[in-house]
Each structure stands twice: as C-alpha cells, then as structure tokens.
Structure 1
C-alpha cells in the first residue's frame, strides 16, 4: 500500500516538472517579442519628443529674431528722438518735464533761525524778531558779536547763508544774526520820515532784548538796502555809538541825507575823530545813477579828509541791479569788516565778477 502511494506521488512530481518545462518554453518564445515591443515604443516616444523639442527650438529662434528686429527698430527711433530733443533743447524749444514726487516721499521743513514775538512800547504793537544763533552757541559759554539786518523779512536769510559760508572759510567769527522787520506800512516812514523813532526802537528795545536774552559782545554791525541803506548811512553820519560796522547796499540818497552829507563833508576833519575801530562798506549798482555822484563824493572825502582810522570801501557792482545787490553786499561786506588784508578789494571784485 505504501509502495503504491509512493509511485503516485512520483508520477505527480514528474507531471509538475513537465508542466513547468512547457510553460518555460512558451515564456522564452514570447520574451524576445516583448523586449522588441518595449524598445519600439521607447524609440517611438524619443522620436516624438525630439520632434517637439526641435519644433520649440525653431519657434524660439524665429521669435527671438523677430523681437530683436523690433528692438533694433525701436532703438533707432529712440536715438532719433533723443537727438531731436537735444537739438530742440539747445534751441530752447523744448519744455523741461517736471520731476514727479514719489508716493513715499515726506516733505521736510527747512528752518532758518527762530522768531521771537516781542511787544514794542514805542509802536504799541507786537512784532517778530528773527534770530539765528551760532552753531556752537548751546555747547559753549562764549559771547558773540551781533549783526542787525533791517528789512529782516527779506534779507535775514541772506545774512544767515552768507555768514555760514564765511564762517566755514574762517573769514568771520561766529555771530548772532538778528532780522528787524518793518513796522510801518510804508518804508519811508521807518527809514526816512520817522527814522528817529525807528532808531530809538532799535537801540532801546531791539538791542536791549537781544543783550538781555543772549550772550553778546559789544561789537555790533548793521545792514541796510535801498532806503534801509539810507537809514544806516544816517546812523553813520550822526556819529552813532551803538554800532561798529555799517554795511550799505545801493543806498537811496534822500534830499535830507544829501544835506546831511554836505554838512558832513564840510566838517570832515571834526567828524572823523570818532572813527577809530569803525568800518563802512558801501556798494551800488550801475543803474543807481542818483547815488553814484554822492558815493563818489563820499569816497573822495574819506580818502582826503583824514579818515585814516576808518576802515572803508565803496564798490560799484557792474553786473548787478539795484534789487540784486543785497546778498552780494552782505557776503562781501561781512568778509570786508572782518578781513585785514590790503588786497582785499581785489579779492572782492574778483568774487563779484
């Protein structure tokens, strides 16, 4: 019984081996064709991809060439437009395009000095005095010279900028700048008709306020333009003791000043006795014909009248007008009263030209 079972089992193993061999042959016959099919599909896919890539490269090349051609045409047009604009700009036919403000830009205030509101007993009104302190004022205990500017609404900024440049060049010491505004509707009132009152206002109220609130030296300078220069010239002719230097830009010589000037000329030897340490600087433009003769007479008197102790200079400004002399006069005048070189006049004339 056992032998029979063993035989059946062996026969089953033989059948399984034969079946395996049969399937192995069948699979071996199919395998090459399957490999060829996979290779064919791979080759076909590469051909398609290559064709796509080649097409894309050709398209990109043609597109680049077209855009390059367009850019060259545009560049040629821009170059032509720039050349035409430059030609028009040189001929003054092209308006300059304004700058555009950035959305993120924040405007900043540029402050010049400070305004102090004071009350004038003489004029029974409030007014603003403009004051510019030296850069190092708060960091030192020093006292400073004071420069008073009439028509302060107009010329205070001129004095601040001019003095800043001169101080940087060591052509003048640090100083306090004070702008004095007009108090009357008419300039004639302050500088001519009521000049005595305006002078009293400066000496008793303005100077007192400045000396009482700031560290000041006794040396003072005063500037005036046009009728303001006429007022300053009168202070000089009156032997005014409160100022050491007088700077005048294009003075408008009134009839009363002419008479006072004549009296001064007649008493030159007596008048110059108070002059030691004082400076007088006067400029006038070519169009100031009414002042030219008087200025020449004054210069002659100062040169021949024994005013050796007065440091003075009168200068004709050939390239400026009556209304454009203030800044040049303040700049050169402040430099003059603080400079001792003998050739300073040549330096100033070179600056003005």
Structure 2
C-alpha cells in the first residue's frame, strides 16, 4: 500500500441537500483499507513493457465495494501519477461516495515516470532544448494502448469508459493522443498543456487534424493557468511576442480559436484560472473538468422533493430514477443501474419518514437490480420489520445470510426477531 493521503473538494448544493436528507442513515459499506494507523488508497504494480523495454510502475485505486459485489468501474488513466494520484483519487471519491452521485465511482491508474521527457513529447525538441531523449510519444502511446490498458482490464473489473488526464507535457500528450488515437479514451483533460513544445508543432498539427476528424463521441476540457509575467493581461498577451508568453498564447489560440472553429464536433470546454500558477492549477481544474465531463451524471435536485412529497406516488419516483440512469447509460455507452448504495439510502430516508410505499419500492428495486448482494435483502427485511410483517422480515434476513458471503448484521437482526417471537408466545 502506498500514497496514503486524501484531499477534499468543494461542495455543491445537491451534495449538501442530499447529505441532510440521508443524515444518520447507517452505512453498511466498509470504509477505507485500514492497517494500524495507515489508511491506504491504492496499490502498486510493476509491468514489464516490451514496447518500452523497461519496467513501468503504476499506482491503482479501486473504489470500495462490499465483499460480495461484482461491480466493475470506468477507468481514469493519470499521467505523472506520483504527483497527482492522491488529489485525483480524493476528488473522485468525494464526488462519487458518501451520498454524492455527481460522478461514477472510478478506478484511478497513476502512471509513474521513468523518462518523462521521452514519453510525454510527440516530437524531438529543437536545438534550444539541448541534447535530450525527447520525441518518444508514439512508443508511449503504443505502451498505453497495447500493454497498460490490457493489463488493467485483465487485473481489475473494468467498464469500457476511459478518461485520460495530463498536466504540462502530460497535457500535451493527452491532446496528441486525442488527435492521433481518439478511440483510446472517451474523455480527455489537458491541464495547462505545453503546446509550445518543439516550436509549437502540435498546435500546427491540431489545425489540420481537427478539421479532418469527427470527434463527436469525445470530450475535452482544458485548464489554463496564469503564467503571464507582471504587466501582461489576457487583453494584451496575444500581441506579446516574447518567449515568456508563448506557453499561454499557444493554449489561448488552441482554446479560443482552433477548437471552437473546427469541424470536429468535439464536446469542449476550457477555463482560465487567474489565481492559479502552472503548478497549483491541477487540483482545482481537475475538479471543474470532471464536473463538466459528467454534467449529465448527477441526479436532478428535484428527485429529493419528489421523494419526500407525499402526493407523488412511488411509481412516479421510481420511473424518474430509471429514466435518469437510462440517459446516463446512453452517455457512458453501457448499462448503468441506479447505484445500490444510493437507492438504499433513499429507501431508509423514506422509512424514517414513514413513507412506506416509497421505502418498499426503493428496497425492491435494489433486490431486482442486485440479486447477488446480501445487503439488499437485509434492507428489505428492515422494511418488513418496521411495518410488522415479521414472517417476511425473517425470510429476507435468511435470504441475506444465504446470498454471497452473508453478513453478521443480518444474523443479529434475525436472532433478535426470532427471540422476540419466542417470548411473545
């Protein structure tokens, strides 16, 4: 286990409302991996790359699941993994767990560097860069496509949706991959990309390629740091011709002119961060990029008002929930069911408010969608126990014990319920 920090991100209104809504609902999911005083968020793998003729190290974070879960996840591939792994994992965890459904839960694969300049540059540097090993971007793309993605798919339970994140030269690599092999990833995040590299050769390529490819299935977000020297502003930087401003001028040309005016049909957004430097940009820009890319993933805030409105039927609420995840499934290009943990929380929230028809509907929806998960039977058992249908509660607790690896909390509830029945006789 390595890299043991987590970071938090800004909270949005829906997260806050949902947290209030489900407050004090017991969470039966296990927490982070804990060993003594260590909280682990990832594991390390070493891969022997035949393409690069060297060993490569990756750090992998997998979302927490129950022991009987067979859940698979989309995958984030992160360049400069040793620098950004903890922040990206923390951001995704914050937005996909503990009542948040802003993002899907995702595996994060942090790719560590051996020869960064070689791997993250598509062309050899010019004479001003001095002697170096640059220009190995094509071989690095081969490694990603033919070795790394295959290794991750064989080692972990993955879904076909993939996202690529890179900063600086990593951002340059992300854009290069999007142009040359767009089928590798569904979404791309380029953070202050070094488009200036090798006399801005990539920027010139972009102008041609984007008008000759249909990228309507891809999404790109570009974060732009304030790298301008004192006295230069966004209003004046495009007229500046100094080397000091080449970095931001190339990015601004790419984001303001080249991509928007292309015929690629790519889903695109960018944001300039006046208070962030090249080094401080990745944390906040990654957050914004994820919110943009998955803007359609989050449940509409109106669902909470529908759930707690006694005049809205359970069937209406369930239909609304299903319709939302049908849209999400279309966007992700594979079937996504309403998450068991979120539906479970809705069920308990309704149970506490004595909205019994809705609580039953939520718990039964989970039984239908996740029949191999012991917890869904336990939760339905809690509903039956609450409405005094004791025989059905006993049946559900017994079913929970027989499903997967079972669980101790179902056994304790079952024993307590049976003991009460004996005493009543």
Q: TM-score, normalised by structure 1?
A: 0.61
Cα–Cα, structure 1 residues 242 and 137, in superposed 2: closer, same or farther, change >3 Å? farther
1:244 matched residue in structure 2: 186
2:148 matched residue in structure 1: 206
Cα–Cα, structure 1 residues 239 and 207, in superposed 2: closer, same or farther, change >3 Å? closer
Larger Rg computed on CA atoms: 1
Q: Secondary structure of the residue that 2:184 maps to in structure 1?
A: coil
Once the two structures are TM-superposed, the CA of residue 293 in structure 1 deviates from its matched residue by: 2.2
1:109 aligns with 2:38: yes
CA distance in 1, matches of 2:66, 2:54: 30
1:235 aligns with 2:177: yes
1:303 aligns with 2:260: yes
Alignment of 1:91-102 (within 5 A): none
Cα–Cα, structure 1 residues 129 and 318, in superposed 2: closer, same or farther, change >3 Å? same
Q: Which has the larger helix fraction? A: 1
Alignment of 1:177-216 (within 5 A): 177-184=108-115, 187-192=116-121, 193-216=135-158
CA distance in 1, matches of 2:58, 2:209: 37
Contact 1:284 1:291 in 2 (8 A): no
CA distance in 2, matches of 1:244, 1:167: 19
- One of 69, 74, 82 as aligned partner of 1:145: 74
Q: Secondary structure of the residue that 1:110 maps to in structure 2?
A: strand
Contact 1:295 1:314 in 2 (8 A): no
CA distance in 2, matches of 1:294, 1:287: 12
Q: Secondary structure of the residue that 1:322 maps to in structure 2?
A: coil
1:316 matched residue in structure 2: 272
Residues 234-281 of structure 1: CA deviation (Å, up to 9, x unaligned): 11222431111110111112444822322332454322x1x1221101
Q: Which runs of 5+ in 1 are unaligned?
A: 1-105, 342-353
Cα–Cα, structure 1 residues 209 and 107, in superposed 2: closer, same or farther, change >3 Å? closer
Cα–Cα, structure 1 residues 208 and 253, in superposed 2: closer, same or farther, change >3 Å? same
Q: Which runs of 5+ in 2 are unaligned?
A: 1-34, 122-134, 229-244, 298-425
Stretch moving more, 198-207 or 116-125: 116-125
1:174 aligns with 2:88: no
Once the two structures are TM-superposed, the CA of residue 210 in structure 1 deviates from its matched residue by: 0.3
CA distance in 2, matches of 1:137, 1:240: 34
1:337 aligns with 2:277: no
CA distance in 2, matches of 1:295, 1:139: 47
Q: Secondary structure of the residue that 1:129 maps to in structure 2?
A: strand
- One of 221, 229, 235 as aligned partner of 1:281: 221
1:292 matched residue in structure 2: 248
Q: Secondary structure of the residue that 1:270 maps to in structure 2?
A: coil
Cα–Cα, structure 1 residues 285 and 211, in superposed 2: closer, same or farther, change >3 Å? same
CA distance in 2, matches of 1:240, 1:172: 22
CA distance in 2, matches of 1:257, 1:210: 35
Once the two structures are TM-superposed, the CA of residue 137 in structure 1 deviates from its matched residue by: 6.7
Cα–Cα, structure 1 residues 122 and 167, in superposed 2: closer, same or farther, change >3 Å? same
CA distance in 1, matches of 2:37, 2:199: 46
What's the Cα RMSD here?
2.2
Once the two structures are TM-superposed, the CA of residue 117 in structure 1 deviates from its matched residue by: 2.4
CA distance in 2, matches of 1:240, 1:265: 16
CA distance in 2, matches of 1:157, 1:296: 29
CA distance in 2, matches of 1:175, 1:257: 37
Contact 1:249 1:326 in 2 (8 A): yes
CA distance in 2, matches of 1:326, 1:132: 19
CA distance in 2, matches of 1:248, 1:257: 19
CA distance in 1, matches of 2:105, 2:278: 29
CA distance in 1, matches of 2:76, 2:190: 13
Residues 72-130 of structure 1: CA deviation (Å, up to 9, x unaligned): xxxxxxxxxxxxxxxxxxxxxxxxxxxxxxxxxx9712222111222222333333211
Contact 2:179 2:206 in 1 (8 A): yes
1:157 aligns with 2:80: no
